[in-house]
Amino acid sequence: MKFNTKAIHGGQENIDPAYKSVMAPIYQTTTYSQTSPGNHNGYEYSRSGNPTRSALEKSLASIENGKHGIAFGSGLAAIDAIIKTLKPGDEVISTNDVYGGTYRLFNKIYKDFGIRFHFIGMQSVEKIESCINERTKLIWTETPTNPMMNIIDIEAISTVSKKHGILLAVDNTFATAYLQQPLDLGADIVMQSATKYLGGHSDVVLGSLVVNDDDIAKQLYFIQNASGAIPGPMDCFLILRGIKTLHLRMQRHSENGRAVAEFLKDHPKVENVYWPGLESHPNHEIAKRQMKDFGGMISFSIKGNSTKDAVKFLENLKVFTLAESLGGVESLAGHPASMTHASIPKEEREKIGIVDSLIRLSVGIEDKEDLLEDLKQALD
C-alpha cells in the first residue's frame, strides 16, 4: 500500500471480528474473562494489552514503514522508555537543539541515574564520531529541530551509528511519518509525539515508538508493561482517527507553511526566517533529499531582538492562538524563550539561536489569506 492508503487502512484488517465495525471499537475495559486460568483471547489486563491500543500500534507501525508500534501515554513517556533500555554508565549523544522536555528528561532525571549525555550540534558526522566511545549506546536526533528548524542528515548519521553498533533514534514529531521515514533512512527507533500532527486536533496527549528489530521491540513492550506509561483506549481511538487524515492535513500544512515563510522572508520587520523549504535555509538540500515536503513549522525573529516586541506581536494575533504545542488544524504561535524552552538556561538557549524575539509558528490549515493578513496586522 502507498502512504495515503496506509494512513487509512494500515494494520486495520479484522479489527472487529465480532461485528465487523469499520472503525476500531473503544475497548473501555481493564480486564478480560478467561475460560480457565491462563486461557484467554490474547488480552488479560489493559496495562499489558488492549485491543484499541493494538489497533493503533499496528497503524503506527504501518505509517512509519516499521514492524512494531508501541504506544505510550505521552511523547515523553515514549522517550523515557527508550532511556530505560540503558544502564548506569551508558552514554548518549544528543542533538543540542532538542525539544525542551527531552532536554529536561535527560539532564534533570536520567543524569542522576548515572547516564551521561553529550549535547552537540549534529551538522557534522565527524563531530558525532569524535564523541563515541565504548560506553556510547544511543544517538538521539530530532529533525527538523525545535524551534530552529535545523535539518539533521539521518542517513549520514546512520552510517556512523551502524559502523559503531549504536542505536539511532529519531524524534519525528515535526515532520511526521508523512514527510519523512527515518527507519527507511537507517534509524533504529522512530519516536513521535502523537499529541501533535498525528492526533492533529489538539485534543489528545500520546506518544509513539516504531522499530523494526524484534529484540528492541521486545524490550520496549516489556518496559511499556513494566513501567506502565500506557495511553487509554479512548485516546488511542482518537489518534487512530487523526491518522486517517494525516496525509491531507500535512499537504495543507506544507502549502500554508510555504505561503507564510515567503511572506515573512520579505517583511521589513523580520530579521530571520527558519523554514527548511526556503532555498536560503542552510540545510535545504538535505531537507529536499529526506523529506517529501517541508511542513508547517516556522520560526522567525523580529528585528531589534526585544522581548517586548515579540510579546506585543503575540498579543495582537487574532487568527493565530498564543499557546504551547503544535500540529493541530488551528494555527498557533509561541515564544520559545519563555514557553517551550524556558527550562533551558538563557546562555545555552542563545548559543543555539533561541533569541528573545524568536517566534515559533505552527501554521494550521485555515485559509492562507487569513493567516497572512493576521501576521501582517500583528507585525504592523
Catalytic residues: 47, 99, 171, 196
The piece of 68-76, 158-166, 178-186, 278-286 that touches ligand PLP (CB under 6 A) is: 68-76
Note whether 207 and 75 are within 8 A (CB). yes
Query: Which positions from 272 to 311 touch ligand PLP by CB under 6 A, shown as an x/- string?
Result: ----------------------------------------
Asked whether the beta carbons of 180 and 291 are under 8 A apart, the reply is: yes
Evaluate the CA torsion angle 310, 313, 316, 320 in order and state its sign. Answer: negative
**Interface region with ligand PLP, contact rule CB under 6 A, candidates 54-62, 96-104, 109-117, 258-266:** 96-104
Out of 59, 180, 195, 254, point to the residue binding ligand PLP (CB under 6 A).
195
Quick one: which segment of 10-18, 98-106, 271-279, 286-294 binds ligand PLP (CB under 6 A)?
98-106
Would you count residue 239 as binding ligand PLP (CB under 6 A)? no
Instruction: Between 142 and 309, name the residue whose CB sits nearer to ligand PLP.
Output: 142
Residue 231 one-letter amino acid: P
Among 55, 86, 175, 205, binds ligand PLP (CB under 6 A): 205
- Is there binding between residue 99 and ligand PLP (CB under 6 A)? yes
Using the rule CB under 6 A, is 196 a contact of ligand PLP? yes
The only residue of 75, 199, 200, 277 in contact with ligand PLP, by rule CB under 6 A: 75
Task: Indicate the residue among 10 and 336 with the shorter CB distance to ligand PLP.
Answer: 336
Pick between residue 102 and residue 136 the one whose CB is nearest to ligand PLP: 102
Confirm or reject binding of residue 171 to ligand PLP (CB under 6 A).
Answer: yes
Binders in 122-151 for ligand PLP, by CB under 6 A: 142, 146
Give the whole-angstrom CA distance, residue 148 versus residue 274.
6
- Among positions 51, 199, 200, 207, the unique one binding ligand PLP when judged by CB under 6 A: 207
Judged by beta carbon, residue 132 or residue 322, the one nearer ligand PLP is: 322
**C-alpha span between 356 and 349 (Å, rounded):** 10
Residue in 25, 101, 121, 232 binding ligand PLP, rule: CB under 6 A: 101
Give me 334's grid cell: 509561541
Closer residue to ligand PLP, CB minimum distance, 46 or 143: 143
If residue 262 lies in a helix (H) or strand (E), which one and from where to where? Answer: helix 246-265
Residue 193 as a binder of ligand PLP (CB under 6 A): the answer is yes
Cβ proximity of 132 and 160 under 8 Å: yes
* Number of neighbours of residue 91 by Cβ within 10 angstroms: 18
Going from the C-alpha of 194 to that of each of 15, 108, 167, 335, the distances in angstroms are 21, 24, 22, 22
332 forms bridges with which residues in the sheet? 321, 362
CA–CA dist 248, 260 (Å, integer): 19
DSSP string for 205-227:
--EEEEES-HHHHHHHHHHHHHH
Residue of 50, 54, 74, 181 that binds ligand PLP (CB under 6 A):
74
Of 53 and 368, which has the nearer Cβ to ligand PLP?
53
Q: Is the omega angle on the peptide bond into residue 268 within 30 degrees of 0, that is, cis?
A: no
Max Cα distance, the chain (Å)? 74
Nearest to 127 by CA among 170, 96, 89: 96
Q: Name the β-bridge partners of 209.
A: 70, 191
Helix orientation angle between 368-379 and 246-265, rounded to the nearest 10 degrees? 40
Our finding on whether 176 is near ligand PLP (CB under 6 A) is: no
Interacting residue ranges for ligand PLP, rule: CB under 6 A:
74-76, 99, 101-102, 142, 146, 171, 173-174, 193, 195-196, 205, 207
